[in-house]
Amino acid sequence: MSVVTLTVNDELVSAQEGQSLLSLLEELGIQIPTLCHLEGLSERGGCRLCLVEVEGSNRLLASCVTPVQEGMVVRTHSDRLLKYRRMILELLFAERNHVCAVCVMNGHCELQDQAVNLGMDHVRYPYLNPDLPVDASHERFVLDHNRCILCTRCVRVCDEIEGAHVWDVMGRGVNSRIIADLNQPWGTSQSCTSCGKCVQVCPTGALTTRGVTVAEMEKQHDFLRWILDGRNKKQWHYPAGEQ
């Protein structure tokens, strides 16, 4: 596979052709905030947190869906980008009812982490306060629409890894909702295998294990790597401590 050379934050670096810009930045140790991206799942380019400036393009490009190109000049942390990332987080917090203090994911939540990392300490936009239900019909898990950021990691993991495609998105715009099967209570879904993959990949408290209390829920994304390495490389055993 051929190698391309590009400039990232004024430094010349090389990358493999076809590689996404985001994976290159991760290799280089450059921290880029992401929410809808999760290694092992298809890319969506929806949260727009991983936007970067590319010289010669008048638009900002989502690094998760932009392949590296020879001679590209990339900036990852300009003032403009930092401001936009904070604004995007503010919009996410204003969109639904993210009340960290009473959330089961408090302290383990990716949305909360991003807000802390990016220094987003208040929301300047009108809170929309939608009246959203909680689906607690499943015997093991709970879906709380109030915490959902529509990253569709659950949709993709269920479709691409588990192969059940229980989840999908209904409606459009700010009225989009994650639904199980044909918009029925999760507990009545015939296609759900209760594997819990969706719960583990959800970045917020939207999908949680039933019965956990505030700040208890922690999620493990590692299983994606075990499954995909097993499927693709037939590599099932990890050295102790790496799992």
Partner 1 sequence: MNRADLENMAQREQERQQGFRCRLLCCASTPCLSSGGTAVADALQDEIARRELNAEVQVVSTGCMGPCSRGPVVTVQRQGEPDLLYENVTPDAARRIVQQHVQGGEPVQEHLLPLDIPFFTKQHKVVLSNSGLIDPERLEDYVARGGYSALAFALREMTPEEVCAEIIRSGLRGRGGAGYPTGLKWDLVRKAPGARKFVVANGDEGDPGAYMDRTLMESDPHRVLEGMAIAGYAVGAEQGYIYVRGEYPIAAKRLERAIRAAERRGLLGSRILDSNFNFRIDVRIGAGAFVCGEETALMASIMGRRGQPVPRPPYPAQRGLWGMPTLINNVETLGNVAPIITHGADWFAGIGTEKSKGTKIFALAGKVATTGLIEVPMGITLREIVFDIGGGIPDGGTFKAAQTGGPSGGCIPAQFLDTPVDYESLRALGSIMGSGGLIVMDDRSCMVDVAKFFMEFCMDESCGKCVPCRVGTVEMYELLRRITDGSATPADLATLEELCVMVQETSLCGLGQSAPNPVLSTLRYFRDEYEAHIRERRCPAGVCSLDQVPVLEWPDRLHAQALAGNGSISGEVN
Residues in the site for partner 1, rule: CB under 8 A? 44-48, 51, 59-62, 65-66, 83-84, 87-88, 91-92, 94-95, 124-126, 128, 149-150, 168-169, 171-176
**Nearer residue to partner 1 within complex by CB, 173 or 241:** 173
Q: Which residues does residue 14 pair with via DSSP β-bridges, in sequence order?
A: 5
**Nearer residue to partner 1 within complex by CB, 104 or 148:** 148
- Residue 153 φ then ψ, to 5°: -60, -40
Q: How far is the CB of 212 from partner 1 (least distance, A)?
A: 27
Would you state the structure tokens that stand for residue 9, as one six-digit string? 């934050």
Q: How far is the CB of 126 from partner 1 (least distance, A)?
A: 5
**Nearer residue to partner 1 within complex by CB, 45 or 107:** 45
With contact defined as beta carbons under 8 Å apart, do 74 and 62 qualify? no
**Nearer residue to partner 1 within complex by CB, 104 or 146:** 146
As a whole number of angstroms, the distance between CA 197 and CA 157 comes to 7
**Nearer residue to partner 1 within complex by CB, 86 or 138:** 86
Q: How far is the CB of 210 from partner 1 (least distance, A)?
A: 28
Q: Go through 56-68 and write b for each residue having 16 or more CB atoms within 10 A of its CB, e for each that does not.
A: eeeebbbbbbbeb
Q: How far is the CB of 91 from partner 1 (least distance, A)?
A: 4
First vs last C-alpha separation in the chain: 30
Sequence-separated (6 or more) residues with CB below 8 Å from residue 84: 48, 51, 60
Q: How far is the CB of 83 from partner 1 (least distance, A)?
A: 8
